[in-house]
Chains A and B, each alone.
Chain A
Amino acid sequence: MNAVDEEYSPPDDDARYVETVNRALRDGDSSGRHLRETLARDELTGLARVPNSIRGAIWNFLLLSTKGNRELFGSISDEQFRESANESFGIMEEVMRDQLEVDAKRTRPSLKRFRGQESKNDLVRILAAFCEKENLRYVQGINEIVAMFMLLQDLGHSPKIVCELLSSFLHDFASWDLESSDESDTSSLAFHKLKYCFRSFRILLQYHDSELFNRLESMGLEPNMYATSWFVTLFARNFSVEATFALWDNVIVGNDRSDFFFFATALLVSRRELLMQVNDAHLPEEILNLRAETKGEVSALWAWGMKLKQNTPNSFVDMLSSPLTMCGLQDVPDKDPVLMTVNVDDIFGDPNKQFLIWDCRTMREFESGRIARAAHLELDGLRFGSREDAVKDLESVIAKNEPLRISGTHVCLVGSGIPAEDAFDVIPAATCLTKNGFRYISFLKGGFPEALTKSPEQVTDLSHAKLEAGISLRKRQEERSLYARERGVPDGVIALVNRTDSEVTDMVDKAKGTIERFGSEIRSALANQIAQRNRKKGEEELQDDEETG
């Protein structure tokens, strides 16, 4: 909902600090490295401190000078810009002209800066000129981004510079706003890039907090329901001016377009307690009202997001950072499972993350060549068996992973690499884990053959002849068990916390293999979890007593 939009009166900058930064701006190298190094860091969060009085100059330098981003308008004066923008406006279709004028009145209207007619006219001009130059149709929300640049005090209110900054900023950090659209073709209304971002965002949230992810999704709260304005306006529509400036300082100085995704994930995860507990009927309200008002809140969330980033597979971070992945996208099929995929570099080449690798192929295949570190996950019931067999397998998957639930271990499932086969073992097993609230679950893109080609040194006990025999045996088994294909994949099974004592004992017995294999960290994680379960049980009993008494 519309929060009260407070006038932002920034605190005075330290004059000496401003002078130092100014010097870096003047003398700095064109890569912006010197300026980035000169900016002081916040003690708690390590974030850059951008002085308010020269924010415009700093953003301008980092967005335009350092990147060789083309200038849309060359060196024309503001008057020339206004003239040419008026022409751009004049040739727009009427309905779009109306839209711009309506939205100019509704852009941070309570702030002094936007009360006068001349700033509204400038806003309209900037949007019209921008759309013409970029060959775009105006998308609502870009007005909010323009407003932030118009609020920069030290740019002399130059509409031309604002327009250049807007273009550069969107290309660098919100390329989903730059999708051209031909309205005669309804499929091109489709916000392809934005949908793709939402999908990546779902995967990210699921990876870091599958319980929260499951709750939101089960309530129909996918990112298009709550995060549209987050992405389209980079939070300008949701946050106060102070908070938006702080966020964009970090985005621009940090210069990594993936950071925004982690910030947005942090915003959700940091409020998980509220979001998990609030009544179903209020959940949409709570999630749509998530916001930050102060610089301090933004810094804390940013730091949280950077921790999430460190705990995200590198290939996924690279994908989010890369500009290429944001271009020329097709729609991702809705039925594709939401699941983190990793590559061999993620699981073998990252010293900062511990990956537990489950080989999900048949035992025969596993014994004829396997990743040395991998453990075998028995899924024959899921692949070839009856519905009951399949459920048993999934229960055993849960049991074997239970010790990892609250440890920081990343879990990667490896299959045969053939999508039609993965759909019946790796994917359901991984999905079962995420549905049951396990985090850090991924599967290896390309499966075992990928490991064999890309990282043969990680593979042991390899016998090509035996492997071929194993694969062909599997094919024969698959043919015989068409039933398994028809019955589909059963839904998830019940998690430990909701089981009876004897079931827990049984599951712990089953999990012993995992425990022995992966040592003391997991043993203590399991002990913690059982303690937690007992605590919860105790509380419930207490509650029952109180209520009956």
Chain B
Amino acid sequence: MARIDDGYDYLYKIVLVGDSGVGKSNLLTRFTKNEFNYDSRTTIGVEFATSIIKVEEKAIKAQIWDTAGQERYRAITKAYYRGAFGALILYDISKKATFESVERWLKELKENSDNDMVIMLVGNKSDLTNQRQVRTDEGKAFASAHGLNFIETSALDASNVNEAFTEILTEIYNQKRAKPVVGDKEQAPDVEKVQNIRITDPAKEHSKKKSCSC
């Protein structure tokens, strides 16, 4: 069967959460396409992108889910967290209120995830130095009090964006390294990502093995 296969050793699902307008979508496009879009549009529901990074010679593919920030959408976004190994909670350093919501997002993640997630707190829009309302040490303090990683980024000038994703992916990799994926790359997503949500379907399992027996 003709499948697009760009080759990777591990596949990790990561979710981006945080209040509306903190720059989740732009952080994602900065990381996956190295673009910043002044004309970006409101995320309705969910958006998605992938990117590959190398950690210790292993290709790690990140499946990044970017969710709508509006409170109302949380009623239907629970499924987004399923199978995620990591999460970035974003706030806008120039808007205090978005930092105050972080605790709520943390609770939301803990209630809805089925994995022990690596969570990173991200203060975005660090380029807006003149409008800063949340000091770096406030972010740091919150992160260390809750056992989270912490970084400040700017999707606009690209500072620390790759670092943020690399750090969280590396940490997930280190955590999961105990369970290496065997051989066939086609199988990798099953092992690492969808183990909790796949329904048993002997027909499919069977045909799959068959098509990959090469």
A: which residues have CB within 8 A of B? 1-2, 5, 95, 98-99, 102-103, 106-110, 137, 139-141, 143-144, 181, 183, 189-191, 194-195, 214, 217-220, 222, 224-229, 232-233, 237, 277-282, 284-285, 288, 435-437, 491-495, 497-498, 540, 543-544, 547
Contacts and interface: CB of A to CB of B under 8 A. Distances in A.
B interface bracket (residues with beta carbon within 8 Å of A):
35 or more
Contact of A106 (B5, B42, B75, B189): B42
Nearest 5 Cβ contacts at the A-B interface: A228-B45, A229-B44, A110-B39, A109-B39, A102-B21
B199 A218 contact: yes
Given A191-B76, A218-B198, A494-B202, A139 B70 contact: yes
B70 A99 contact: yes
5 contacts: A99-B20, A99-B70, A109-B39, A190-B75, A288-B47
Given A214-B204, A217-B199, A229-B44, A2 B29 contact: yes
Interface stretch (B78-86, B129-137, B158-166): B78-86
A220 B83 contact: yes
Given A214-B204, A281-B50, A281-B61, A144 B42 contact: yes
A212 to B, nearest CB: 13
A494 B207 CA distance: 9
Nearest to A195: B76
Given A140-B20, A220-B79, A280 B194 contact: yes
Given A492-B202, A492-B203, A494-B206, A544 B72 contact: no
A107 B42 CA distance: 7
Nearest to A280: B189
A222 to B, nearest CB: 6
B115 interface: no
A450 B207 CA distance: 40
B210 interface: yes
Interface string B1-40: 1111110100100000000110001000100000001111
A495 B203 CA distance: 6
Contact of A225 (B46, B71, B75, B203): B46
B134 to A, nearest CB: 16
B128 to A, nearest CB: 15
B75 to A, nearest CB: 4
Interface string B107-130: 000000000000000000000000
B41 A2 contact: yes
Contacts of A436: 203
Contact of B72 (A189, A498, A543): A189
Interface in B41-76: 41-42, 44-50, 61, 63, 65, 68, 70-76
Nearest to B83: A220
Given A224-B76, A279-B4, A280-B189, A108 B45 contact: no
B156 to A, nearest CB: 15
Nearest to B198: A218
A214 B201 contact: yes
Contacts of B5: 279
B42 A498 contact: no
A494 B3 CA distance: 24
A495 B202 CA distance: 9
A279 B42 contact: no
B214 interface: yes
Contacts of A492: 201-203
Nearest to A236: B44
Contact of B68 (A1, A2, A140): A140
A307 to B, nearest CB: 27
Contacts of B206: 494, 498
Contacts of B49: 1, 285
Given A106-B41, A140-B44, A435-B201, A285 B194 contact: no
Contacts of A181: 72
Given A220-B194, A285-B50, A435-B203, A278 B3 contact: yes
Nearest to B199: A218
A229 B214 contact: no
A253 B214 CA distance: 53
B97 interface: yes
B202 A194 contact: no
Nearest to B40: A2
A281 B7 CA distance: 11
Contacts of B82: 220
B174 interface: no
A530 B26 CA distance: 51
Contacts of B46: 225-226, 228, 288
B4 A224 contact: no
B90 to A, nearest CB: 14
Contact of A220 (B76, B190, B197): B197
Nearest to A285: B48
A185 B11 CA distance: 38
Contacts of B65: 284
B76 A106 contact: no
A194 B76 contact: yes
Nearest to B187: A280
A285 B11 CA distance: 14
Given A139-B72, A140-B68, A491-B202, 10 more contacts: A99-B20, A106-B42, A140-B20, A140-B70, A141-B44, A220-B197, A228-B76, A237-B44, A435-B203, A547-B214
B34 to A, nearest CB: 14
Which one of B46, B68, B80, B201 has the greatest number of beta carbons of chain A within 10 Å? B201
Contacts of B37: 2
Nearest to A219: B194
A143 B42 contact: yes
Contacts of B68: 140, 228
B79 A277 contact: no
B4 A183 contact: no
Contacts of A110: 39
Nearest to A228: B45
A336 to B, nearest CB: 16
A281 B20 contact: no
A103 B70 CA distance: 11
Contacts of B79: 220, 222, 224-225
Contacts of A106: 21, 40-42
A186 B172 CA distance: 33
B181 to A, nearest CB: 13
Nearest to A194: B76
Given A139-B72, A140-B70, A228 B201 contact: no
Contacts of A284: 48, 63, 65
Nearest to B61: A281
Nearest to B209: A498
